[in-house]
Structure 1
Amino acid sequence: MKNFFTKFALISLAVMLLFPLFPSPSPRAEAGPQGSEQVDILFLHDTHSHLDSFPTVEEGRNVTLGGFARIKTLIDGKKAENPDALLLDAGDFSMGTLVQTIFHTDAPELRMLGYLGCEVSTFGNHEFDYRSTGLAGALDAAVRSGDPVPALALCNVDWEAMEAEGLTEDQRLLKEAFTAYGVEDYVILDKSGIRIAVLGVFGEDSLACAPTCALKFRDISEAAADTVKEIQENEDVDMIVCVSHSGTSEEADKSEDEILAKAVPEIDLIVSGHTHTTLSEPIRHGDTYIVSCGSYGRNLGSLSMSRQAEGRWQMDSYELIPVTEEIPPEPTAQAKIDSLMEKVDSTYLTRFGYTTDQVLAQNDIEFATSDDLYYTHTEHNLGNLLADSFAYAAAQADDPDTHPIDVAIVPSGCVRDTFATGDVTVTDVFNAYSLGIGPDGIPGYPLISMYLTGAELKTGAEIDASVSDFMKSARLYISGLHFTFNPHRIILNKVTDCYMTDEKGSRVEIEDDKLYRVVCDLYSGQMLGAVTDVSYGILSVQPKFADGTPIEDIEDAILTDGGRELKAWAAIAGYLESLEDADGDGVSDIPEAYASAQGRKVVEDSRSIGDLIKSPNKFAFIILGILLLLLVLIVLLFWLLIRLVRRLTRRNHATAGSCR
């Protein structure tokens, strides 16, 4: 017995000593549910230059969210569990904070995605906001940096159509930049023997939201189907994933990624960007899953999929991990971000006499959020403040046009964040209105000054009341104009009252033929054509110069101050600085007047017959005329059918009688 235990102990010791010499199985090569292989995927989209954590308001509370340093901590934790976890991004990685101002020279967003370990991304519409030269510059800067950067996949650029027409200078510039960076239709990745094809697509609505994009695109379903076929014919892959900047919607005919999932069922997973959707559970069509984690890096998406016996992939786990201030930032990532912000100070903000952390005003008011402006159709105090800022800055500019500003307009689609209570800094202001770049090549949309007739101002109110339910980015927030609308009235005739106010706040009636000076940002001017398209040309406005001459190129209407473009964000900063220092501490205070509605946009929520039919406009008569004509045609068709049936009946009776 003693010899037995001695031998057993020696054998056990030998096994323990030799065990480390045998390789352990890879974490993802091990069997998952039902003996299947398993893949872990992390994902982001619509981070919009939010490399650093940012203060904002959620559910009425001041919170600090996001930040790539905190996201890196979460990713490192996931990588510790599975080194082969795959990180993907679905576009709009740029345009949203001050760091975007060095996008075209330093490509900070691509380089920080690379530092996170992102392996594949795609283009969003806001990557094209920098115009072709800016995007090409960013791609070149990313390559020159020598830093790890994600592969970029995009399969539906229609180079064939563009080359058949002859490439424009912008198209040629982007093609060269895409080639130098290595943009491909798809990318093949190997994760512990599991081969994954990742393709990228750019949707129809994304293109509609990119007025300065010089490229043409194919339908995403057609292009993806062709690319999937190419992958299946030429590559030995186990899984097909799509990083899509197309988005989902509650309206089935506009939910582009759901349409894609149904049209190309071979795709196993779609990471869906563009619509900033937060999906608490995946959308599933057949064997295709669609996932979204929201915007600005508020969440890190995480999922696990296993291959089933029939070869398709099943989602076993799915979570959106909130990126909150309780998560410690990874030090190296934070140091990189801090260094980038120092460069922003020295190369961009110095032009405007600001620094990133400079306090512009103190705020005690609970402002609406940017989501409120987008989704809730009513007046909002944040929109009022921003519109007042535009009116103030345009009036102060040294523009040769000395006509007073009659109306200032802010569209919801350009408002990206709100102001928390406490100090409002330059960074906060830029984050709130961060989009675009001007013809001067300097980031930030400039303001424009144009003239519209009184009738067109009323049309603008009707655009907000009728069209913005179908195009929420066209919800308008205004200074100088007041209107009332009833959402239950017939479309294109929802506005029941529209007027202006003078300096004393007294009502002033709008004269249809009179020209009024209107200020908005460049993007709003560029998107007037899209509004015309959505309304099928019924609601259209023609920007004009002071003499009534039509403005053919909206960039001719850009406002300048001190010889440079008057940027929208700088207009807001200047307005906040100009406010009264009510408590005498040397810092402006946002007035209490913004705490409540100011009657600029009044919702008349009534279903009474009198309210529904009062004050009909020309559009109401046109629509009613069309409906009446359709009714007459239906009655006529019904009458003809009755006559035809009677005639056939009589003929049948006559035939039956002759047969007797």
Structure 2
Amino acid sequence: MFTHDLHDNFLPFEVERGNQKLSIGGYARLQSAIAEQREKDPNAILVDAGDFAMGTLFQTIYSTDAPGLQTMGRMGYDATTLGNHEFDFRSEGLASSLRAAKDSGEKLPSIVASNTIFPKDKNGKIPVNIQTLKDAMDEYDVKDYIVIERKGIRIGIIGLMGKEAAGNAPMSGVMFDDAIESAKSTVATLKNEEHVDLVIALSHAGTSAVPSQSEDEIIAKNVPDIDVIISGHSHTTLEEPLIVGTTILGSAGEYGENLGVLNISKNEHDKWILNHYELRSIDDSLPLDSTITETIDIYKEAIQENYLDDFGMEFDEVLAYSPFDFTSFSTLGVNQQEEPIGNLIGDSYIHMVEQLEGDDYEPIAAAVVPVGTIRDSFSKGDITVSHVFNVNSLGIGPDEISGYPLLDIYLTGKELKTIAEVDASITPIMNEVQLFIAGLSYTFNPNRFIFNKVTDISLQSIEGVKEEIDDKTLYRVVGGLYSVQMLPFVNEKSFGILSVVPKTKEGTPVKNFEDQIIYMNEHQEVKEWYAIANYFKSFIKINGVAHVPTYYAQTHDRKIVVHDSSMWAILKNPNAIILTAYAVLLAFVGILVLLVMLVVRRRKRKKEKLIG
């Protein structure tokens, strides 16, 4: 049995299936499905391929209570691996979580992490924070591999972090060896020294429709002695397993929507073959396991006391009622377009700062919201604190409290235009960087040359009033810590063609982004999710309940996409970048023409001499 990418989804949640909304998932239901399977086969193993943490309010007690690991232990998981999100609270956060789990005295799942390495500084020593994590991993007994025995079969289990996933854990402090080379080495040890009969890889690398990006398929091709790969990270749902050579590869989808079940046996050639594969839907046909339900209730109390009380909010508190659905999370960001949820989040950031500053409010020109930081959506009905947190659940601030804080920076008008161009030009290459920008209205044509797609841009108030942008003026911009920190990478992603340099109010480049954090009081950071929750509470009340205005049921010309492939539409109004490119191209053509003319003239002279 297997899962992956659970992301702390302890409670059932709602999804759209066709025209229906279904309640699925939840660990109490998942436990019932696991129990049913164990009745059929008490010797079945239960594993997880990482990212068991981060995504709901339960992450707020990750470092103090380790709810994911403790609950997986109670559910009987044999092993899991570390995904990139287990490092979201940096090395110190993971270390604290491992220690909290170990100190609980609970039976815990084994953790396998075969390609994690601890870098040393220039003096040959492991930095203090990384040493703290290493010590915690040693105390928990995290291993390169484990060997368990069932039905007389020796089973070796390894854990891998993929390249793309490792890139999504930039603050982990650790490094990761090449997954293929680590797998080859570890599998060789299992085969030659441990004499295992079966090798299972819990791989947080993922699959993709693009063959060159389907890391787990590539691992399977290069390490054929892996018999089974449980593939996490890409949140893939494989209704049928992938067979790569003799390796069986399974994925059960995200958030505990399904329990994967895989049954294999050896054939006459001593190779493991597939007998049965299914994804058991975790829906409301399954009863709630009472023990896991009690566990969840205890954790909810801890969340309330240790986190939500500081924000003056309650776990299931209804903030507002939405009379309509927002774009489903499954399709959010698929198309390059304006989205009402992006508008709402950006507007909430601006509203939060305006409310905090009161009469001293300094106008914010724009709020930046990347689609990659939006982790869920809102549906018609009551919107609770828990729902809002799920939508913007990522990260941690320097206060070591869950949730990215808001901060403000200053950009020139030219840089504001550059951000819009980044959205227009880089999104088709990296969809996760698609931006929703409250405060701007811009038009772009996807058919135009890269870095020259935006054809019109202006400031736009929430009421729709437009104002011309002055290239040299400094404008105040607000966004989450992660989002704003990523802005300087525009240089890198555009090969140095575009530039965005976040600045202070005085116009000097920001050296430490944490200095720009916005606070609710002397010590409490304004978290992204809290700004959204606060905004919901500000809406007009009907029968005592705030209602989301119909303004957010539609778009408002903040991002206008015009598909025009005519030659005039593509070539008109070139910006400085394209004019430079034209100049380089013309110079190249000129040189080419000159060279051709010289060659022709030389041949002509040579011919005349021969005739003479």
Structure 2 match to 1:469? 428
Deviation at residue 342 of structure 1 after TM alignment:
1.4
Between the two proteins, the alignment pairs up a number of residues equal to 602
Determine whether 1:358 maps to 2:317.
Answer: yes
Partner Cα distance (1:388, 1:397) in 2? 14
Which of 160, 163, 169 lines up with 1:204 in the alignment?
A: 163
Which of 489, 493, 507 lines up with 2:466 in the alignment?
A: 507
Which of 534, 537, 540 lines up with 1:580 in the alignment?
A: 540
Structure 2 match to 1:111? 70
Determine whether 1:249 maps to 2:249.
Answer: no
Which of 447, 450, 457 lines up with 1:491 in the alignment?
A: 450
CA-atom RMSD in angstroms:
2.6
Matches within 5 A, 1:425-464: 425-464=384-423
Determine whether 1:46 maps to 2:8.
Answer: no
Q: Give the match's secondary structure for 1:477.
A: strand
- AA matched with 1:566: V
Check 1:181–1:345 CA distance in 2 against 1; reply closer, same or farther (3 A cut). same
Contact 1:466 1:494 (C-alpha < 8 Å) held by counterparts: yes
Check 1:638–1:210 CA distance in 2 against 1; reply closer, same or farther (3 A cut). farther
Partner Cα distance (2:589, 2:48) in 1? 51
- AA matched with 1:415: I
Contact 2:324 2:380 (C-alpha < 8 Å) held by counterparts: yes
Structure 1 match to 2:177? 218
Structure 1 match to 2:570? 612
Deviation at residue 325 of structure 1 after TM alignment:
1.9
Check 1:167–1:632 CA distance in 2 against 1; reply closer, same or farther (3 A cut). farther
Partner Cα distance (2:374, 2:539) in 1? 21
* 1:86-143 deviation per Cα after TM superposition (whole angstroms, max 9, x unaligned): 1111111111111111110000011111122111111111111112221111000000
Structure 1 match to 2:506? 547
Determine whether 1:596 maps to 2:548.
Answer: no
Structure 1 match to 2:194? 235
Q: Does 402-411 or 605-614 show the bigger shift? A: 605-614
Contact 2:439 2:460 (C-alpha < 8 Å) held by counterparts: yes
Structure 1 match to 2:332? 373
Structure 2 match to 1:177? 136
Structure 2 match to 1:348? 307
Check 1:481–1:240 CA distance in 2 against 1; reply closer, same or farther (3 A cut). same
Partner Cα distance (1:400, 1:314) in 2? 71
Contact 1:114 1:149 (C-alpha < 8 Å) held by counterparts: yes
* 1:369-415 deviation per Cα after TM superposition (whole angstroms, max 9, x unaligned): 22322322211111111111111112222499842111011111111
Matches within 5 A, 1:294-309: 294-309=253-268
Determine whether 1:567 maps to 2:527.
Answer: yes
Q: Does 117-126 or 282-291 show the bigger shift? A: 282-291
Which of 232, 251, 273 lines up with 1:314 in the alignment?
A: 273
Deviation at residue 310 of structure 1 after TM alignment:
2.6
Contact 2:353 2:361 (C-alpha < 8 Å) held by counterparts: no
Contact 2:5 2:52 (C-alpha < 8 Å) held by counterparts: yes
Which of 114, 122, 127 lines up with 2:81 in the alignment?
A: 122
TM-score (structure 2 length as normaliser): 0.92
- AA matched with 2:558: R
Contact 1:56 1:418 (C-alpha < 8 Å) held by counterparts: no
Determine whether 1:335 maps to 2:294.
Answer: yes
Q: Does 325-334 or 501-510 show the bigger shift? A: 501-510
Deviation at residue 306 of structure 1 after TM alignment:
2.0
Determine whether 1:272 maps to 2:250.
Answer: no
Q: Give the match's secondary structure for 1:325.
A: coil
Structure 2 match to 1:33? none
Check 1:310–1:617 CA distance in 2 against 1; reply closer, same or farther (3 A cut). farther
Partner Cα distance (1:400, 1:288) in 2? 65
Q: Give the match's secondary structure for 2:46.
A: strand
Partner Cα distance (1:630, 1:293) in 2? 54
Partner Cα distance (1:278, 1:539) in 2? 38
Partner Cα distance (1:310, 1:560) in 2? 66
- AA matched with 1:310: H
Structure 1 match to 2:370? 411
Check 1:503–1:50 CA distance in 2 against 1; reply closer, same or farther (3 A cut). closer
Check 1:430–1:634 CA distance in 2 against 1; reply closer, same or farther (3 A cut). farther
Deviation at residue 357 of structure 1 after TM alignment:
1.1
Determine whether 1:281 maps to 2:240.
Answer: yes
- AA matched with 2:169: A
Contact 1:125 1:210 (C-alpha < 8 Å) held by counterparts: yes
Matches within 5 A, 1:23-62: 42-59=1-18, 61-62=20-21
TM-score (structure 1 length as normaliser): 0.86
Contact 1:365 1:594 (C-alpha < 8 Å) held by counterparts: no
Which of 26, 35, 51 lines up with 1:76 in the alignment?
A: 35
Partner Cα distance (1:82, 1:110) in 2? 24
- AA matched with 1:380: E
Deviation at residue 636 of structure 1 after TM alignment:
11
Q: Does 540-549 or 348-357 show the bigger shift? A: 540-549
Partner Cα distance (2:462, 2:59) in 1? 38
Structure 1 match to 2:99? 140
* 1:506-549 deviation per Cα after TM superposition (whole angstroms, max 9, x unaligned): 22121222111111111112333555443334334211111111
- AA matched with 1:287: T
Check 1:243–1:638 CA distance in 2 against 1; reply closer, same or farther (3 A cut). farther
Which of 422, 441, 454 lines up with 2:381 in the alignment?
A: 422
Deviation at residue 619 of structure 1 after TM alignment:
3.4
* 1:229-271 deviation per Cα after TM superposition (whole angstroms, max 9, x unaligned): 2222211111211111122222333222222222222212221
Instruction: Specify every segment of 5 or more residues in structure 1 that has no aligned partner in the other structure, as ranges.
Output: 1-41, 651-660
Check 1:221–1:401 CA distance in 2 against 1; reply closer, same or farther (3 A cut). farther
Partner Cα distance (2:584, 2:37) in 1? 60
Q: Give the match's secondary structure for 2:265.
A: strand
Higher Cα Rg: structure 1 or 2? Answer: 1
Q: Does 619-628 or 75-84 show the bigger shift? A: 619-628
Check 1:511–1:58 CA distance in 2 against 1; reply closer, same or farther (3 A cut). farther
Q: Give the match's secondary structure for 1:450.
A: strand
Matches within 5 A, 1:510-529: 510-528=469-487
Q: Give the match's secondary structure for 1:237.
A: coil
Which of 90, 95, 114 lines up with 1:131 in the alignment?
A: 90
* 1:159-206 deviation per Cα after TM superposition (whole angstroms, max 9, x unaligned): 366697431122111111111111111111212111111111112222
Q: Does 75-84 or 609-618 show the bigger shift? A: 609-618
Contact 2:158 2:201 (C-alpha < 8 Å) held by counterparts: yes
Structure 1 match to 2:46? 87
Q: Percent identity?
A: 42
